[in-house]
Amino acid sequence: MIQRIQSLWLLLAAIVMATIFYFPTYVITGTTTAQNRTVGNDPLAIILAVLSIILSLVVLFRFKNRKSQLSLTWINILACVGLQAWLFIGINNFRNTPEMAALPGHYWVGTFLPLVTLLLLFMARAGIRKDEKLVKSLDRLR
């Protein structure tokens, strides 16, 4: 299971997505940490992040069924894209509230972690497809 490179990519994707709960997504400059925007403040973001973590781990342990791995990886990619879009929409709404509009702030690490996870998932998908092609070519030789 761990001998395959896509297993490493899937494990890293789960770890990177799990770290999204430790980093804020938007930081208000010069204020307390209570006003920073985090994934923990948004129920939909929590659901999408946990879904991505669970899907990465499920795909990791379904190494005998590559077709299922490919389809679950696509669902995971869609969850990451949805999470990324939702984070930007949420931050935009957060910045446009009257009490936050005048305060300076900037995007932080948590905003870009779904993009890193997305990259890792695409690399895992490429490894799964490579294994599938290898198995199909070996079946033709029999």
CATH class of 5-135: mainly alpha
Q: Please, what is the Cα angle at 129 between 126 and 132, to 5 degrees?
A: 155
pTM: 0.87
Q: How does pLDDT run across 27-52, given as a tens digit for each residue?
A: 888 666 567 888 888 899 999 999 99
Contact 72, 92 (CB under 8 A): no
Instruction: Indicate the average pLDDT of the chain.
Output: 88
Q: Helices 66-95 & 109-141, crossing angle to 10 degrees?
A: 160
Residue extents of the structural domains in the chain: 5-135
Task: Give 37's DSSP letter.
Answer: B
Size (the chain), residues = 142
Burial 11-50 (b: 16+ CB within 10 A, else e): bbbbebbbebbebbbbbbeeeeeeebbbbeebeebbebbe
How far apart CA 4 and CA 100 sit, in angstroms, is 47
DSSP reduced 3-state for 38:
coil
pLDDT tens by residue, 57-100: 999 998 888 889 999 999 999 999 999 999 999 988 888 888 77
